[in-house]
Structure 1
């Protein structure tokens, strides 16, 4: 999720990333000239598309009504009360305050406790039927000094699948941070972003193929959201990489639905002249941090594209606004004139900031010690030397308690509103 109030900062960062990337950029080794669209599969028992509708394995129209499980397998400082900070920066600042080993133990604790079966049970009780699950490439690549990342990442995703099967909650797998990053917001230790590195593109393709091969038989998986909010230099760069990913996925999994996002924070789909797959959805995002206006004009434009190409729309993120705006957006998503097949509220839970303007579904209530550590994460000049490793460890432990499902607190008005739809 991106805060558009920081678009200028992000734009400047994009320029520097592009300059840095171009110095060592390599052209794609993949030639999409012979790309062939995979046709729809008859009698598909997975969630799939039928014209402009999403249907279940029995062919019944369904709307995927979801929450975003960000802050778990993909960290975001805005969810933790630490400002507009990436997972990389959070990690670096925590290592400075607590040391590498303690930070790695904290990471494991977040993975173990931020999302558990209890969270999935609570989501089901609200009446939602889907979770969109952001993940960082690091959880599926073996780069962890203390533990095999690959084994750890699969373990958490496997557990999630099992919980969701128990509570009839569909899973959308969302590649939120590609090797090197796909935009200025999601910084990555590997500075050259994916658009300027053939190696990073190939790793992205390989990860998706591994995911598809592992979960090809899981009916609880609703779809593969290939690239979150891509910020490619050109539309062709984006489409070419998506084609590469789809080609490899279809070698091992011909059934699961593909979700494609566009540019400009997943609001611009002008690069798509035609569908890239016979079982695909366009996943758009909606935020407005400046006014109370809804995005009717963009929805009309997207709907025209979807109807022309006979492809469904799905809202992959919206929220961070007043209650009245959230309700207005939900009304639009339910309007039958738009081929929108559900929505995703951002996020499931977070540390509340300016809760009157930016309403939350579930609040994480951290202690004062974590607030001090969060300042150290977000501060421009880094943490104060007064924050000791002992203090940071105590704050980390208290934050882990605060994020547990049994300790979060609902905004009942938001909860009731989502249940209504």
Structure 2
């Protein structure tokens, strides 16, 4: 009998079940499932030329499959419509949003499109779509903890997902308080440096994308997101990308959205004549910055012209992409099946027609560049 008991105990080591003389059974602790080592960093590809598009986490499998036909090599998933952290007390994680992030990453891996993760908003910001200088986030460091916990969780979850993730976009469209104050609660430079430290402490080596900041500069002049690149204090981390957005002039690009209908491009907006040469002159600050910092790539995370701009919006988009390509800036169009105002698949000549088409001039334009 003692040999039988000994044999059963040995068997228990492999089955996780222990039999006693009384013929009852008890569960043994099951060893944890092994996970990839966090001490050996995942070997990641360096940043490359990305040509992509912004998407919502509420996207379907069919939507992603349709998008893949256009051949973007990256999607920037932004959580404006479904924040990763709920923006009301107790500011808990939104598990539905994280499940959708998992879904998008898995589907994009199948479809050969990389993913840039953009939380887009966080407690402390009044809007889900952008930021303002008046947001309480910039007045009290306790609000920073909610953004920090999102990035710690993302790093813990995705550090070993490898090259399907092209980068982490730390904050969407930060806006400085007047004068770009260098204080812990208000300094974007201090905030993103702390976020990078937290991400790296989790053993995550994915590329960090730092958005440039807009706001009233130290000399009282308003700086847009391109101008704001010179306010960035580069961190010691070398795997970073700087990311301005480009909607200049908003009097044209945001017609029918937040601005009145004001005419075609090329044309005069805010007392300035805008054409491709004007756009080029406004990108010069980025070109000069890249020349001074050749190891720091630039990624235009958003740009577009609303449907209400009409066909001249297509020319605006074409001129910008041509300039981005000329200067080697990666880019992501805004946006895909997320908001009708910006949807490239919807007509910009018949605004009553809300049937999507894969053959609109703007889709054809984007697809031509996506395929490069």
| Category of TM-score, reference length = shorter chain | 0.5 to 0.7
Q: Please tell me whether residue 206 in structure 1 is matched to residue 166 in structure 2.
A: no
Of 321, 327, 331, which residue of structure 2 is paired with 1:330? Answer: 321
Give the structure with the higher percent helix: 1
Counterpart in the other structure of 1:167: 111
Q: Distance in 2 between matches of 1:175 and 1:232?
A: 19
TM-score (norm 2): 0.66
What's the CA shift for 1:273? 3.9
Q: Deviations over 1:40-98 (max 9, x none)?
A: xx9963243xxxxx2xxxxxxx32111111xx45xxxxxxxxxxxxxxxxxxxxxxxxx
- The separation in 1 between residues aligned to 2:101 and 2:206, in whole angstroms, is 17
State whether structure 2 residue 117 is matched by structure 1 residue 157: no
Name the SS of the counterpart of 2:112 in structure 1: coil
Matched, 1:271 2:231: yes
Residues 84-141 of structure 1 deviation map (CA, whole Å, 9 limit, x = unaligned): xxxxxxxxxxxxxxxxxxxxxxxxxxx4xxx011111112101111111112497433
SS at 1:277 equivalent: coil
Is 1:299 the counterpart of 2:299? The answer is no
CA contact (8 A) 2:87 2:123 kept: no
Q: In 2, Cα distance between the equivalents of 1:126 and 1:204? A: 33
Shift of 1:154: 1.6
Quick one: structure 1 residues 253 and 235, their matched pair in 2 at CA, closer, same or farther if it must change by over 3 Å? farther
The equivalent residue for 2:261 is none
Q: Contact 2:80/2:129 (CA < 8 Å) preserved in 1?
A: no
Q: Is the 8 A contact 2:131 2:173 kept in 1?
A: no
Distance in 1 between residues matched to 2:192 and 2:324, nearest whole Å: 26
CA distance in 2, matches of 1:415, 1:235: 42
**Residue 319 (structure 1) shift:** 1.1
Q: Secondary structure at the match of 1:172?
A: strand
Q: Does 1:361 align with 2:344?
A: yes
1:12-51 maps to which residues of 2 (within 5 A)? 45-48=43-46
Partner of 1:131: 75
Equivalent position of 1:63 in the other structure: 49
Runs of 4+ in 1 over 4 A off after TM superposition: 142-145, 182-188, 350-353
* Secondary structure in 1 matching 2:69: helix
Tell me: CA distance 1:332–1:43, structure 2 relative to 1, closer, same or farther (3 Å): farther
Q: Distance in 2 between matches of 1:127 and 1:138?
A: 26
- What per-residue deviation string (whole Å, max 9, x for no partner) do you get for residues 347-370 of structure 1? 1125545xxxxx7412399xxxxx
* Distance change in 2, residues 1:155/1:231 (3 Å): same
Instruction: Work out whether 1:247 is the aligned partner of 2:215.
Output: no
How much has 1:339 moved relative to structure 2?
3.8
Post-superposition offset of 1:289: 3.2
Deviations 1:130-177 (A, max 9, x none): 1111124974336799xx853212211101111000101111011211
DSSP 3-state at the match of 1:222: strand
When Rg is computed on C-alpha atoms for both structures, the one with the higher figure is 2
Cα offset, 1:204, TM superposition: 0.9
Displacement after TM superposition at 1:306 (Å): 2.2
SS in structure 2 opposite 1:133?
strand
Name 1:121's counterpart in structure 2.
Answer: 65
Unaligned runs of 5+ in 1: 1-41, 49-53, 55-61, 74-110, 354-358, 366-370, 372-401
Mind listing any 5+ residue stretches in structure 2 that lack a counterpart?
Answer: 1-39, 215-223, 252-266, 268-273
Counterpart Cα distance in 2 of 1:142 and 1:350: 20
Aligned to 2:31: none
Aligned length: 275
TM-score, structure 1 normalization:
0.59
Residue number in structure 1 paired with 2:335: 347
Output the CA distance in 2 between the equivalents of 1:351 and 1:153.
18
* SS of the residue 2:98 aligns to: helix
The 8 Å contact of residues 182 and 195 in structure 1, kept in 2 or not, is answered as no
